[in-house]
Amino acid sequence: MDLMKGKKGLIFGVSNTHGIAYGIAKEIYEAGGEIAFTYANEAMEKRVRPIAESFGAKIIMECDVTKEEDVKKVFDECEKVYGKLDFVVHAVAFANKEDLTGRFIDTTKAGWDLALGISAYSLVTVCKYAENVMNEGGSIFAMTYLGSILSVPGYNVMGVAKAALESSMRFLSVDLGKKGVRVNCLSAGPVKTLAAMGIGGFSKMLKAAVARAPLGRNVALEDVGKAGLFLASDLSSGMTGEVIYADCGCHSAYASAEEMDILSNNLEL
């Protein structure tokens, strides 16, 4: 498969071989794409470097997405090595654990600023420095989740951050569209990743997704990877400003028949 042959791009957020960013990178690489990788800090380098090297990466750089100078350095290096880029994947998100548990009303101002800064504003920074390094017809997309539009127990401030991410994506799609660059979001269903396991009640989220999804199962890492490949490739050439769902249809269903029976039996109307 040579769908991405000759295509060069950059992925922010790969941290291990079990994460969504890795699943996307794998599909792009196997389709012939060349990928540059970043890691957040020295501690993460030992995880990311072996992965990047296994994909033959020419660029493996430290980058704190909250620091504009770091992001600029990465794109400067990409321009030096590749000339122009065809795709950029933003798979970066973080919130303090205490701001993902308990009541949302207890979210601290510091926790709010941290979650939205890393998880949402960083996409603005990435697009700002990607703009002049992207080929016409290029694609930028960010990872999101259903908690952006629905309240999900245990997701709290991250849901607000993902809502801000999606809204930012729409405005960015207008700015970069003038240069022929697409900006989208990919909303994945719950996948068993190391990052996801840090969300309180995640096992219940997995079960609820199975109960609600029209396909009757959870989305697999490979499913999300293929959706990412689609967005990175020319197959999605006419799509921008969109949230694409890869969640086995979970977002489209109010409740399964079984859930409706349980709810109706436990409520007096």
Residues with Cβ within 8 Å of 219's Cβ and at least 6 positions away in sequence, in order, are 188, 189, 190, 191, 209, 246, 247, 248
Complete edge-to-edge strand list for the sheet that includes strand 243-246: 60-62, 34-39, 8-12, 85-90, 134-144, 182-188, 243-246
Residues assigned a catalytic role: 145, 155
Closest CA to 89 of 231, 193, 261: 231
Determine the Cα–Cα distance for residues 246 and 265; give it in Å rounded to an integer: 32
Tally of CB atoms within 10 A around 181: 25
Determine the Cα–Cα distance for residues 165 and 151; give it in Å rounded to an integer: 16
